[in-house]
Amino acid sequence: MIKTSDKFVEISTQKSFDLPHRGIINHNIGKYDIAVEKGLFRLENIEFAKKRGHQIKWKVMENLDKLLPEFESNFQKKGGKVLWANTIEEANKEILNILKKINAKSVIKSKSMVTEEIHLNEFLESNGIESLESDLGEYIVQLLGQKPYHIVTPAMHLSKEDIAILFNEKFGTPIDSTPQQLVLKARELLREKYLIADVGITGANFLIADTGSIAITENEGNARLSTTFPKIHIAIVGIEKLIPSLTDLDLFWPMLSTHGTGQNLTVYNTVLNGPKQANETDGPEEMYVILLDNGRTELLAQKEQRQGLYCIRCGACLNGCPIYKNVGGHTYDTTYSGPIGSIITPHLKGMEEFKHLSYASSLCGKCSEVCPVKIDIHKMLLLNRRDSVERNLNSRLEKVGWYFWKKGMLKRSFMDQFGGSFKNLMLSRFFKKTWGGQRKLPKVAVKSFSKDWKFNHLDKD
């Protein structure tokens, strides 16, 4: 069986030299960069806003044990039901129980990274229930049998020509269809599904403790349709999505939209308080919120790294990361890719299998610079590296190599014992494949710097 780390290296090497792929990604990210720069310019004091967001999320993590029950109590007062799931298996089991209770045959979903995290579509299909994505990008990658490529833009890796070919193969649309025509076709196909679906499933961008509400932000209106027409609405949300008050949305909504897409606000921003009330004309008859842990408390227990739970899923760090822009989202083989995925995945899915992601970084600091809640991402990457070493997860060869490197760096006379010819031999023997596969290895001078200095200065005196 191929190790996850070996697979990452293999695929990232291929993607780095896939020029058409890199061209599409850099073109699409480039458009976002321009929009985001314009959006940020409209914010009066961006640093203050970031610090405030960081402080609010810090407060949430320090008081999670109080805020979660507060949310639960307030949501239940309005007729909603709260379920707790420690693992992927528990979350899927709770969802299946709800669906079986009404003998559900079909589900309509809006975009949700948590449902990707628990592999919900595959689980439901294995139990004979149709699960259809209603977000256009998610719908496209579902048709392709792929996972989302990006936290915000699931089909970022595809060109309009790629999508036109897909729709031609699946639905017989003209091969030269324009983006507008493709959107109209998708809308035609999906509208009926909202009407016939037994259950609507969403995630949530924020859980609001003081009102017992969930907040959903989107650009297509599909989440509103998914929560309005079906008789049952299930929201699956990570426990870290809490904010203390409804008034906090005046900060988080614009910060999320501006850093994600450059908009002042996304087109649709919805606050849902529970199932349809007696005086309301639409909405679900039943509403459930499933609070998912799945390793989040493991990360919460890491005092230095719990900042990873502050993330509001804007995708800014992915767009700024030189590694992501070269290897792409699927290479990470995780639900959450890019820098934020690299710091949280080892805690959510296991350090031993995913420690390599914390090394998939140039440590340029761009991710920390663009984060709207000031997560010190590149520091978290270093802390993950430290933890993997402390847990003895690095190989014996690596330990031996660093031992001699450290010994040499601490004692100049030790390094001077070996001439440049020996060092060049060692470089070509042990580093030709790892460092020299795509670059020319340096040539070490025959005489060391200290010996050269001694010859040119001290011996002359």
| Pairing of β 286-292 and β 232-238 | parallel
Whether the CB-CB separation of 275 and 221 falls below 8 Å is answered with no
Which residues touch 307 (CB under 8 Å, ≥6 apart)? 375, 376, 380
User: Looking at residue 281, what is its pLDDT?
Assistant: 84
Query: Can you spell out the DSSP letters for 152-195?
Result: S-TTTT--HHHHHHHHHHHH---TT--HHHHHHHHHHHHHHHHH
d(CA 242, CA 105) in angstroms, rounded, equals 32
Helix (H, G, I), strand (E, B) or coil at 81: strand
Look-up of token digits 């089909």: 155
Which residues touch 363 (CB under 8 Å, ≥6 apart)? 378, 381, 382
d(CA 95, CA 124) in angstroms, rounded, equals 9
CATH fold, domain 43-294, is Rossmann fold (3.40.50)
The enclosing H or E element of 272 equals strand 268-272
d(CA 6, CA 191) in angstroms, rounded, equals 43
d(CA 75, CA 272) in angstroms, rounded, equals 10
**pTM to 2 decimals?**
0.91
Domain ranges across the chain: 43-294, 407-458
d(CA 116, CA 134) in angstroms, rounded, equals 14
Whether the CB-CB separation of 268 and 224 falls below 8 Å is answered with yes
Q: Which two tokens stand for residue 102?
A: 């009404």
pLDDT digit string (tens) for the chain, length 461 residues? 678 999 999 999 899 999 999 999 999 999 999 999 999 998 889 999 999 999 999 999 999 999 999 999 999 999 999 999 999 999 999 999 999 999 999 999 999 999 999 999 999 999 999 999 999 999 999 999 999 999 999 999 999 999 999 999 999 999 999 999 999 999 999 999 999 999 999 999 999 999 999 999 999 999 999 999 999 999 999 999 999 999 999 999 999 999 999 999 999 999 999 999 888 888 899 999 999 999 999 999 999 999 999 999 999 999 999 999 999 999 999 999 999 999 999 999 999 999 999 999 999 999 999 999 999 999 999 999 999 999 999 888 888 888 888 887 888 777 777 777 788 888 888 777 777 677 788 888 887 787 778 778 776 65
For residue 131, the 8-state DSSP code is E
Nearest alpha carbon to residue 354 among 321, 391, 400, 317 = 391
Burial of 118 (0-12, 13-18, 19+ CB in 10 A): buried
User: Looking at residue 316, what is its pLDDT?
Assistant: 96
